[in-house]
Amino acid sequence: SGLKHGEDFCLAYSPERVDPGNVSFHTKNTPKVLGAITPEGLEIGKKIYSKAIDCLHLVSSPKVAEMVKILENTYRLVNISLINELALLAGKMGIDIWEVIEAAKTKPFGFQAFYPGPGIGGHCIPLDPFYLEHIAKKFNFDLSMIHTAGHIDMMMPHRMSIKINTALNRHQKAVNGSKILFLGVAYKPNIDDERESPALKIIDEIAKKGGQVSYHDPYIANIKTENGSYKSVDLTLKVLNDADCVVITTNHANFDIDFIVENSKLIVDLRNAVKIASEKVYKL
């Protein structure tokens, strides 16, 4: 266009900060990071955002603002991947990782609880840190921690499919030919977003092994995986009774867990929705 920054226009940048489903923090009361190329641009950006946001944190440049976003997402990627790997080990050792986390939470300093699950979803945490890993290579720098965390996360859906297979085997059944009902395909509870959800990858893997897959999600009526399309089924007594295995992939608050446990033959709980394991409840 021939327009010059600082003369014809100003540029300010504020990275997204949003936690879908969070009832305590929303757009207005979540502090917003803001950076601009010039002081004038920063002042204009501040005046615009302050009309809608309670608290602004100003930084020296758009680069710094974007690095804040990458740090926040990398922090979650690394810590979730860490607790997922420890959960797998704890299972082999006969230790309840959920009990371990609850005990660790009593430390009033130096610890923040993260919880295991079938993998990381959404459009930020599974993607953003790897943009930084790519850029780092241009500086001849190897972000090995991001790479390792990404590998752990990438393998979680496969490991969850193995867990489903093991649970069925212990009940003298194979994945091939079994009816397997997945509860929840959103990447986190109480939202209608299945982007990058590990549930979709697990569904695909189980379907490839011959499992007769179906799912129920009160927030998502239809899904499309890499290898198929599905419609949400009603969570009825008959649907639960007919399933050879029920897999809890997302712990939506409106799931009646007692009803599900009572009327299911076998449950693989990947979200700690069922608090006590039993002969028919296998936990992550």
> Which of these is catalytic: 10, 55, 124, 245?
124
What letter would DSSP give residue 232?
B
Q: Dig out the tokens for 152 from the structure.
A: 């752990």
Radius of gyration of the chain (CA): 22
Tokens 């295995």 map to which residue?
Answer: 245
Q: Dig out the tokens for 68 from the structure.
A: 């804040």
Of residues 118, 247, 245, the one with CA closest to residue 179:
245
Distance between CA atoms of residues 36 and 30, nearest Å? 20
Burial (0-12, 13-18, 19+ Cβ within 10 Å), 157? buried
Tokens 């409840």 map to which residue?
Answer: 281
Tokens 């603002």 map to which residue?
Answer: 65
Beta strands (DSSP E) in the chain are: 12-13, 32-36, 56-58, 179-183, 212-216, 222-224, 229-231, 245-248, 267-269, 281-283
Is 10 labeled as catalytic in the residue annotation? no
List active site positions.
124
